[in-house]
Structure 1
Amino acid sequence: MISLVHKIGRVIVPKPLAIVTFGHSLNHGMDVTYGALLVLIGAEFDVDLATLGLIGTLGAVVYGVIAIPGGLLTDRIGFGKTLILALIGSGMSALVVCGSVNIISLALGLMLVGAFGGVFHPAGLAFVASDVRRRSTGMGVFGAGGNLGVAITPVIVMSIAAVYGWRAGFYIFSGLLIFSGLLMLSVHRSLESSDKEKSNQELDRSDAMNSIRGSRGVAVFPTAMIILVNSCLGFLYRGTVTFLPLHFLNNSQFSILGFDSITIAGFLVTGTLLMGAFGQYIGGILGDRTKKEPLLIVLAVLLFPLLLAVGWSTGWVLILVTAAYALVYFMAPPSYNALAAEYVAPQLRGRVFGLIFFGAFGIGSFGSWVGGLVAESFDTGAVFLALSGVSTLVIAAAVALLIYSGNVKNRP
């Protein structure tokens, strides 16, 4: 488990974590591949955008909901076996998409991709949580991988599809996912032995946490607050990535290095996600070096004015405040996930992380719909003002976590 494969600054990334992070990047990359190739797929099957949108929604729903049984599976058979199943299963499912002959087989293939993709997250988070010493840092590295996958995949698959057709993008992802699953299989035994060793270490040092978790193995109140926060953060994320390009177009008309506003608007989301990868990395390091609860309050409080600024800004100011918002937003998840691991016994973490992921990608997906209602009634700036209201729930939950932590530590 301590095999060094990469060093970012002063952070050493063990080989299994590097493999899981690579898989996480592919997982989120696969999630956005369909959207990036939507026009080409629609042209081949001669279907309208409404039908294509419905198919994408079905895959996304499965992706979010399946995390709950995926968490149960993780707790039952272990995160190592679940990760192997998720990665290889996703790769094989992508082959079903490649071989689709009509819109129905395409939909079934995408739902299979969503199913195995959703199983990946609770197992991946449970794996990262097993490192007692560097939980937040590991969560930051893991999260940054997901950001990079979402940010760079559309450009890559669209470039490939322009030359070789849309199926080529899925073929490449299929091969990479199966390859990452085989890599995980190669470290599976060391992963299992390391997991047992770390579990024993955690049991030896966790008498205080066991008293907090109680007989059920879960400290219910802080865990519920963390699930609430992740649902709100998912809502903010979906609303932001959906309406940020249009908001920029409506409020900024200029060119940079010959690129017009439409092109810049597309780059803005990519830049936001890349800034988010840096935020995940920095946030993970800070989460291990400082007290998590005060850090999370600072980050939560900053979200509110930054969202207001995004809604009110134009031009270059809009670009700058969006970058600041992305940095602050993505600094928080590593510490929330690390806190969840502290409040949940190891044998139950899979199902709790499944609920957390469902909150972020299932409940949070309504951010697009609500944002659309607001934009239709007012304008895109109002979307971000509404999102700032949602951020107050994040502030309240962060304060509640700090108060709870203080009360627990002062308990005789």
Structure 2
Amino acid sequence: MSLNANDRSIAAFTMAGHALVHWFETSIPIFLVVWLAEFDVGVALFGVVVALGYAPFGLGALPGGILADRYGTRPLVLACLGGMSLAFLVLAAASSIYAIAAGLILWGIAASVYHPAGLALISTGVEDRGTVFAWHGIAGNAGIALGPFVAATLLIFLEWSVVAAVLAVPGVLAVLYGLGAEFDPTAAVADDADAGPDEALSPAALFSDSRTLFASAFAVVFVLVTFEGLYYRGTLTYLPEILHGLPAIESLALPAGLEGIQPADYIYVGLLVVGMAGQYAGGKLTNRIAPARGLAAIFAVLAVLALAFVPVTASGVGLAPIVALCGLLGFFLFAIQPFYQNAVAVFTPPDARGLSYGYTYLAEFGFGSASIALGGFVLGEFSQTVFFAMIAAFAGIGGLFAGALLVGGDRFAGTAETLEANADD
């Protein structure tokens, strides 16, 4: 099925937003290396400074979802794009660690509203939701891969402050595009009079809607997304370091003039590129496979892939199995995302969609980031085998909750009606 004009317009707008969120996000660690040399402070302090920027990215998702329901999705996405661009201009002008911290915190706050607002816009405005979720995910992966690549390349030729300013330019252009884009943000739920912004949202209504959501199948979705986030963040944080230590990669003989290239980094970027195919395949399959069934199947595959890293990292296997395993991991790690995004749309009503996605990305990026601390502890105190066993356990538990959703999801069909009744009270 081809996309209609409204679907295409929303797709272009949200793809630009998704790509740029991750474009900015993944360029920050590249700047960290330069900042450590530029400013006379220790790694530990700068780690805290960078964490101050990343923390609001997850923790702000819930407030972002609430604001999306109240003020509409387009204004929130535009505010996100403008805020992130402004944050990088602040970084470009920074002359102290305090200014760096201010810029990073501003970026984290601005970026946090994108996922609940952008996904709520797709879920209420797009008819062919699966296809747009697929292209939306591909755009995000493109940003993940291009952000560090472009930043690192520009830093070869330009001062870091200039590079920060250059990286802000696409965000400014996206704001200008978004201001002129024409689309109906509620076209897919046109018959629902309450699908638009809720100007009268009160704390009592927020509490009531949240209580109703978590008394429904959404509670199961929230938990399984948390475990997907634990798997996702733990794997992507520590896999580059693990790949660097594998004998098959360290022993690669590079041609003269290329000795400075790190093959492990390119394998990791390749994993992210393969993730684009996973996003597309997962998004298209959401039109054919029930979200709970797809989630259960992919969680099972992810558990097997995590365990497969144990023999690969514990023995002297060749390069080909490592590359193949990373490719499979990249495909399925990102193929699962359209399924849980669609699950939120299936099990929640349109007028609470922003709130629903806010909770979803609080689970994904907020609670899921706990695996960074857990993974560091396990790798430091135990071994890579225990680390991958922990990662596999995350997938296994997520699969169990997906199975519960598959068996019992129909029992919560009244969620939308209950929320609508609350809104009328």
What TM-score do you get using the length of structure 2 for normalisation? 0.85
Q: Percent identity?
A: 27
Alpha-carbon distance, 1:256 to partner: 6.7
Alpha-carbon distance, 1:287 to partner: 0.7
Within 2, Cα distance between the matches of 1:218 and 1:362?
A: 19
Alpha-carbon distance, 1:82 to partner: 0.9
Alpha-carbon distance, 1:119 to partner: 1.2
Contact 1:75-1:347 at 8 Å conserved across structures: yes
Give the alignment of 1:31-46 within 5 angstroms: 31-46=25-40
Alpha-carbon distance, 1:201 to partner: 3.8
Contact 2:22-2:140 at 8 Å conserved across structures: yes
Residue in 2 that maps onto 1:245: 240
Residue in 2 that maps onto 1:49: 43
Q: Secondary structure, in 3 states, of the residue corresponding to 2:252?
A: coil
More displaced 10-residue stretch of structure 1: 245-254 or 308-317: 245-254
Alpha-carbon distance, 1:217 to partner: 6.7
Q: How has the CA–CA distance of structure 1 residues 302 and 32 changed in structure 2, closer, same or farther, with 3 Å as cutoff?
A: same
Residue in 2 that maps onto 1:222: 217
Residue 91 of structure 1 pairs with residue 85 of structure 2: yes
Within 2, Cα distance between the matches of 1:360 and 1:389?
A: 17
RMSD (Å), alpha carbons: 2.6
Which of 345, 351, 360 pairs up with 1:341? Answer: 345
Alpha-carbon distance, 1:173 to partner: 2.3
Contact 2:65-2:113 at 8 Å conserved across structures: yes
Tell me the alpha carbon deviations over residues 86-132 of structure 1, each in whole angstroms, 9 at most, x when there is no partner.
Answer: 11121112211111121101101110011001111111110111245
Which of 198, 210, 228 pairs up with 1:233? Answer: 228
Give the alignment of 1:248-397 within 5 angstroms: 248-253=243-248, 254-255=251-252, 258=255, 263-313=262-312, 314-315=317-318, 316-397=320-401
Within 1, Cα distance between the matches of 2:219 and 2:117?
A: 20
Give the alignment of 1:161-200 within 5 angstroms: 161-187=155-181, 190-191=182-183, 194-200=184-190
Contact 1:79-1:127 at 8 Å conserved across structures: yes
Within 2, Cα distance between the matches of 1:158 and 1:198?
A: 41
Contact 2:10-2:126 at 8 Å conserved across structures: no
Give the alignment of 1:99-118 within 5 angstroms: 99-118=93-112
Q: Secondary structure, in 3 states, of the residue corresponding to 1:324?
A: helix
Q: Secondary structure, in 3 states, of the residue corresponding to 1:101?
A: coil
Within 2, Cα distance between the matches of 1:374 and 1:230?
A: 22
Residue in 2 that maps onto 1:68: 62
Residue in 2 that maps onto 1:3: 5
Q: How has the CA–CA distance of structure 1 residues 350 and 157 changed in structure 2, closer, same or farther, with 3 Å as cutoff?
A: same
Within 1, Cα distance between the matches of 2:350 and 2:273?
A: 32
Letter in 1 for 2:352: L
Which blocks of at least 5 consecutive residues in structure 1 are unaligned?
5-12, 205-213
Within 2, Cα distance between the matches of 1:143 and 1:25?
A: 9
Tell me the alpha carbon deviations over residues 257-296 of structure 1, each in whole angstroms, 9 at most, x when there is no partner.
Answer: 6477971211122111111121011100011123332222
Tell me the alpha carbon deviations over residues 221-251 of structure 1, each in whole angstroms, 9 at most, x when there is no partner.
Answer: 3211222122212211221122212222333
- Matched positions, count: 391
Contact 1:311-1:383 at 8 Å conserved across structures: no
Alpha-carbon distance, 1:177 to partner: 0.8
Contact 2:125-2:189 at 8 Å conserved across structures: no
Contact 2:231-2:371 at 8 Å conserved across structures: yes
Within 2, Cα distance between the matches of 1:17 and 1:127?
A: 10
Contact 1:20-1:184 at 8 Å conserved across structures: no
Within 2, Cα distance between the matches of 1:65 and 1:215?
A: 16
What TM-score do you get using the length of structure 1 for normalisation? 0.88
Contact 2:66-2:354 at 8 Å conserved across structures: yes
Within 2, Cα distance between the matches of 1:119 and 1:215?
A: 18
